[in-house]
């Protein structure tokens, strides 16, 4: 396919990945996203910006994260060798901080004096609050009232870090409503505010920018596996909500056509007409929401559906536009795992590897055996363990019927 030659040049000047992406925002915000794009290009061209990022990565975030040979998981499946990219060992316990660091440094460069963010499970909110504390910027995090109730520890963490957590009661009071409310704040506070989006979605240049900041995951993994095994992996895997950890892992491998790129969506209670899942690619169709054209959960009238996942971090009705494109052209493959499968994988990883994974990567773990067997003995699979499970112990206990 000719399109494949252009993979690394995407998005195009209009922020398109094929027919996905774009800038579907209110006119008030258009000058702001155009300005953001100019500022990002300027930062990209400035070695000092990269140097500042690298310094924070090494000394504050704790990068590079290890590439760990999961020996007992490998034995358990008896097929391909399994490696975990350990992004759960980052400061704040997930990959989210890679992106927040980049965006908040960019905000400072642009002279912005106030940061806003949306959060679902609270991981992006905590990461944003963390970087804002470190860089001395006020931070307002929009969070659905329903999620605030479900994720009390993270709400308290954000407050300890000095952020203001603003409850959102509109709509269903979950992540997409928090994003709506953040957009409403941004359109109102156009002069001083920087909107730090948590996933590789939103209007251009966010999907590209978040991908670039998260690509440190894939760059490290690629170098680490070459050093360790002397060759590239056969497959790289990650869970997909909006898809920021996945695109960060995939992107540096995208031109390596023999490396399979595999995303795993949240199938919730099953991908069917009830829409009790968050699998936008497997169970949705293209539409426009939150600034970009992408696969969405929607009804026949184009109304957005809430979806469901046991993992609050995957519980979003859309997906980053680059994933929609990679799926359509067949470069990446998108599987899914149900709540129950993710829970089983969570338990398996805890017992075999002594690692409590977050419920998000537990979805990727749930398809790991299948992929390892497809790749077969002698092959190599890298899975991004993008978050740790401490935040999820209450949810898991409840799902397993255990009272703490």
Partner 1 sequence: MSVRLASRFDALKREGRAGLVAYVMASDPDHETCFEILRGLPTAGADVIELGFPFTDPMADGPSIQKAALRALKAGGSLTRTLDLARRFRETDKDTPLILMGYANPIESMGYAPFAEAMHACGADGVIIVDLPPEEDTALRAAFDAHGLSIIRLATPTTDDNRLTKVLDGASGFLYYVSVAGVTGANAATADAVRAAVSRLKRATQLPVAVGFGVREPEAAREIARTADAVVVGSAFVDEIAAAPGPEAVERVLRKVRILSEAVRQAREPGRAMEGTPA
Question: Least separation, in Å, of the C-beta of 183 and partner 1?
Answer: 4
Map residues 20-39 to x or -, x wherever contact with partner 1 holds by CB under 8 A.
--xxxxxxxxxxx-------
Q: Residue 321 in contact with residue 21, Cβ under 8 Å?
A: yes
Question: Least separation, in Å, of the C-beta of 178 and partner 1?
Answer: 11
In this complex, which beta carbon is closest to partner 1, that of residue 111 or of residue 330?
111
Positions 226 through 255 that interact with partner 1 (CB under 8 A):
none
Question: Least separation, in Å, of the C-beta of 164 and partner 1?
Answer: 19
Give alpha helix (H) positions in 110-240.
123-135, 145-150, 152-160, 175-188, 206-214, 216-229
Q: What is the signed CA dihedral for 395, 148, 212, 385, rounded to 10 degrees?
A: -10
CB-count exposure of residue 185 (10 Å: 0-12, 13-18, 19+): middle
Return the residue matching tokens 């097929």: 79
In this complex, which beta carbon is closest to partner 1, that of residue 304 or of residue 380?
304
What string of DSSP letters covers 149-180?
A: HHTHHHHHHHHHTTPEEEEE-STTSSHHHHHH
d(CA 316, CA 308): 8
Residue 303 interacting with partner 1 (CB under 8 A): yes
Question: Least separation, in Å, of the C-beta of 34 and partner 1?
Answer: 8
Stretch that binds partner 1, among 17-25, 66-74, 86-94, 354-362 (CB under 8 A): 17-25
> Please, which residues have CB within 8 angstroms of residue 360's CB and are 6 or more apart in sequence?
239, 241, 245, 311, 313, 314, 386, 387
Please give the structure tokens belonging to residue 8.
Answer: 């690394």
Q: What is the DSSP letter of 308?
A: -
Return the residue matching tokens 């190599």: 380
Question: Least separation, in Å, of the C-beta of 244 and partner 1?
Answer: 20
Map residues 186-225 to x or -, x wherever contact with partner 1 holds by CB under 8 A.
-xxxx-----------------------------------
Question: Least separation, in Å, of the C-beta of 290 and partner 1?
Answer: 7
Please give the structure tokens belonging to residue 395.
Answer: 């949810």
* Nearest alpha carbon to residue 296 among 220, 201, 369, 401: 201
Positions 114 through 143 that interact with partner 1 (CB under 8 A):
none
Residue 365 interacting with partner 1 (CB under 8 A): no
Q: Residue from 135, 288, 350, 352 that binds partner 1 (CB under 8 A)?
A: 288
Q: Residue from 62, 138, 162, 171 that binds partner 1 (CB under 8 A)?
A: 171
Residue 289 interacting with partner 1 (CB under 8 A): yes
Question: Least separation, in Å, of the C-beta of 252 and partner 1?
Answer: 30
Question: Least separation, in Å, of the C-beta of 106 and partner 1?
Answer: 19
Q: Where do contacts with partner 1 occur on this chain (CB under 8 A)? A: 14, 22-32, 170-171, 176-177, 179-180, 183-184, 187-190, 286-291, 293, 296, 298, 300-304
């Amino acid at each position: 396919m000719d399109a494949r030659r252009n993979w690394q040049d995407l998005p195009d000047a209009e922020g398109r990945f094929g027919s996905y992406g774009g800038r579907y925002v209110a006119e008030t915000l258009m000058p702001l996203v155009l300005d953001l794009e100019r500022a990002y290009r300027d930062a990209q061209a400035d070695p000092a910006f990269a140097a500042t990022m690298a310094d924070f990565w090494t000394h504050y975030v704790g990068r590079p994260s290890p590439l760990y040979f999961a020996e007992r998981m490998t034995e358990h499946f008896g097929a391909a060798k399994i490696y975990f990219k350990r992004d759960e060992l980052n400061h704040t316990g997930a990959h989210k901080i890679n992106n927040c660091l980049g965006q908040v440094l960019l905000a400072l460069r642009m002279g912005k004096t106030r940061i806003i963010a949306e959060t679902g499970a609270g991981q992006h909110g905590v990461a944003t609050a963390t970087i804002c504390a470190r860089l001395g910027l006020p931070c307002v995090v929009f969070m659905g009232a329903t999620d605030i109730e479900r994720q009390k520890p993270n709400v308290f963490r954000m407050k300890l870090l000095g952020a203001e957590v603003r409850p959102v009661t509109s709509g269903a009071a979950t992540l997409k409503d928090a994003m709506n409310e953040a957009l409403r704040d941004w359109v109102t506070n156009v002069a001083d505010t920087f909107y730090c989006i948590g996933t590789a979605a939103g209007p251009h240049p966010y999907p590209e920018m978040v991908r670039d900041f998260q690509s440190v995951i894939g760059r490290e993994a690629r170098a680490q596996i070459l050093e360790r095994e002397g060759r590239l992996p056969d497959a790289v895997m990650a869970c997909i909500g909006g898809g920021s950890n996945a695109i960060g892992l995939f992107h540096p491998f995208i031109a390596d056509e023999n490396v399979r790129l595999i995303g795993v969506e949240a199938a919730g209670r099953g991908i069917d007409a009830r829409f009790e899942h968050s699998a936008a690619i497997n169970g949705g169709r293209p539409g426009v929401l939150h600034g970009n054209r992408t696969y969405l959960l929607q009804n026949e009238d184009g109304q957005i559906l809430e979806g469901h996942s046991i993992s609050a971090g995957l519980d979003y009705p859309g997906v980053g536009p680059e994933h929609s494109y990679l799926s359509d052209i067949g470069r990446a493959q998108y599987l899914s795992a149900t709540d129950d499968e993710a829970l089983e994988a969570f338990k398996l990883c805890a017992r075999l590897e002594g690692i409590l994974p977050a419920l998000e990567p537990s979805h990727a773990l749930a398809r790991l055996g299948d992929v390892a067997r497809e790749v077969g003995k002698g092959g190599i699979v890298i899975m991004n363990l993008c978050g740790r499970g401490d935040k999820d112990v209450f949810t898991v206990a409840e799902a397993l019927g255990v009272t703490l």
